[in-house]
Amino acid sequence: MSSLAGRLCAVTGGTRGIGRAVVERLLDDGAELIVTARSTASGADLLAAHPDVTFVVADASKPTELNRVVDAANGRPIQAVIANVGGGPATWVATSPEEDFDEVMALNVKSAFFTVQKLLPLLQRGSAVVLVSSIAGLGGDPGAIVYNASKAAVRSLARSMTAELSDRGIRVNAVSPGPTSTEGFDGYIADHNVTREDIVPQLPVGHIGQPSEVAAAVVFLASDESSYIAGAELVVDGGMSQV
């Protein structure tokens, strides 16, 4: 039986893509869940499939809306927090307006920071936090300059939060996915005028990742199976960044 069976976990941005795969994996492991998305419509499919999930409409980049997640917990301790919200428009150093910069940083960095801050009072010794970063934080490809910087910042948050929360016995780690078959990935390749066939040869494992493959890594770090791992980055990219 999973160490998360019967325990309460919170997942932001959990209705599609990697977040939805994390939710499905946690449910398979017997966890109880609070899941957020930015609109009621986003949660309709999730609730239809899993009516026992507690769904909360909350924009994780707006700290006051994260109070709804705290309220949904109703004082119960949270065993694991998965800060999954991210994304944003393409950005270019020569042309991108301030509002695009702010949107990307809010979706990726601000959301992760305040998700942890707001839920911290509900985390106890032995709890885990997993921040979803990206191998984009290791690179410098054009058209994603602010996104790349934001994901590097998320990875840095895992280190600093680990140092700050060590006396509470709370572990914080980051998962950095590579190319993964999601709506966000489809948008990325469209913006960069590349195809899946262009990317596959760069992946030593020979295929673009599935959300379930990333979810397996996230849930591992959220569970007691990773009890001796803290402040780390688990790269889940099919070897793309390693060769």
* Catalytic residue (choose from 147, 150, 158, 172): 147
Render pLDDT for 137-151 as a digit per residue (tens, 0 to 9): 998 888 899 999 999
Task: Report the number of distinct structural domains present in the chain.
Answer: 1
Assign 1 a pLDDT band (cuts: 50, 70, 90).
low
200 lies in some domain: no
Task: State how far the Cα of 17 lies from the Cα of 10, in Å rounded to an integer.
Answer: 16
Task: State how far the Cα of 112 lies from the Cα of 156, in Å rounded to an integer.
Answer: 11
Task: State how far the Cα of 87 lies from the Cα of 14, in Å rounded to an integer.
Answer: 14
Assign 107 a pLDDT band (cuts: 50, 70, 90).
very high
**Considering the chain, what percentage of its residues have pLDDT values greater than 90?**
90
Please report, for the domain that includes residue 61, its CATH number. 3.40.50.720
176 lies in some domain: yes
Strand partners, 161: none
24 lies in some domain: yes
DSSP annotation of 16: S
Q: What is the mean pLDDT of the chain?
A: 96
Q: 90-95 contacts: CB < 8 A, separation 24 or more?
A: 90/143, 90/144, 90/191, 91/143, 91/144, 91/145, 91/146, 91/147, 92/142, 92/143, 92/145, 93/145
199 lies in some domain: no
**Considering the chain, what percentage of its residues have pLDDT values greater than 70?**
99
CB 116 within 8 A of CB 160: no
188 tagged catalytic: no
Residue range of the domain that includes 215: 8-182+210-236
Give the predicted TM-score (pTM) of the model. 0.96
Give the pair of three-digit tokens for residue 228.
């001796």
125 lies in some domain: yes
Q: What number of helices (H) and strands (E) belong to the chain?
A: 9, 7
194 lies in some domain: no
Render pLDDT for 39-59 as a digit per residue (tens, 0 to 9): 999 899 999 999 999 999 999
3 lies in some domain: no
Instruction: Show the beta-strand stretches assigned E in 26-159.
Output: 32-37, 54-57, 78-83, 123-132
Task: State how far the Cα of 176 lies from the Cα of 189, in Å rounded to an integer.
Answer: 18
Alpha carbon distance, N-terminus to C-terminus of the chain:
36
Task: State how far the Cα of 66 lies from the Cα of 111, in Å rounded to an integer.
Answer: 9
Residue 175: closest CA among 122, 216, 120: 216
Render pLDDT for 155-214 as a digit per residue (tens, 0 to 9): 999 999 999 999 999 999 999 999 999 988 888 788 777 889 999 999 999 999 999 999
1 lies in some domain: no
Q: For the chain, how big is the Rg over CA atoms in Å? A: 17
Task: State how far the Cα of 128 lies from the Cα of 222, in Å rounded to an integer.
Answer: 5
